[in-house]
Amino acid sequence: MAQNVFVFDHPLIQHKITLLRDKNTGTKEFRELVSEIAMLMAYEVTRDLPLKEIEVETPITTAHSKVLAGKNLAIVPILRAGLGMVDGMVKLLPNVKVGHIGLYRDPVTVEPHTYYCKLPEDINERDVIVLDPMLATGGSASAAIGYLKEKGIQNIKFMCLIASPEGIARLTKDHPDVHIYCASEDEGLNENSYIVPGLGDAGDRIFGTE
Closest residue by Cα to residue 182 from 209, 152, 162, 167: 162
112 binds, among ligand PRP, ligand URA, none (CB under 5 to 8 A by kind): ligand PRP
Binding residues for ligand PRP, total number by CB under 6 A: 23
Q: Does 193 bind ligand PRP (CB under 6 A)?
A: yes
Annotation marks residue 31 as catalytic: no
Q: Does 85 bind ligand URA (CB under 6 A)?
A: no
Q: Does 134 bind ligand URA (CB under 6 A)?
A: yes
Q: Does 198 bind ligand PRP (CB under 6 A)?
A: no
Choice from 20, 74, 136, 163 touching ligand URA (CB under 6 A): 136
Angle between helices 27-45 and 11-21 (to 10 degrees): 150
Shortest Cβ 53–ligand URA spacing (Å): 44
Shortest Cβ 48–ligand URA spacing (Å): 29
DSSP string, the chain: --TTEEE---HHHHHHHHHHH-TT--HHHHHHHHHHHHHHHHHHHTTT--EEEEEEE-SSSEEEEEEE-SS-EEEEEEETGGGGGHHHHHHH-TT-EE-EEEEEE-TTT--EEEEEEE--TTGGGSEEEEE-SEESSSHHHHHHHHHHHHTT---EEEE-SEE-HHHHHHHHHH-TT-EEEESEE-SEE-TTS-EESS-S-HHHHHHT--
Annotation marks residue 105 as catalytic: yes
- Of 87, 127, 174, 204, the active-site residue reads 204
Select the span of 41-49, 66-74, 121-129, 132-140 touching ligand PRP (CB under 6 A): 132-140
Select the span of 19-27, 39-47, 152-160, 196-204 touching ligand URA (CB under 6 A): 196-204
Where in 77-106 is the site for ligand PRP (CB under 6 A)?
78, 80-81, 103-105
Q: Does 135 bind ligand PRP (CB under 6 A)?
A: yes
Active site residues: 105, 109, 201, 204
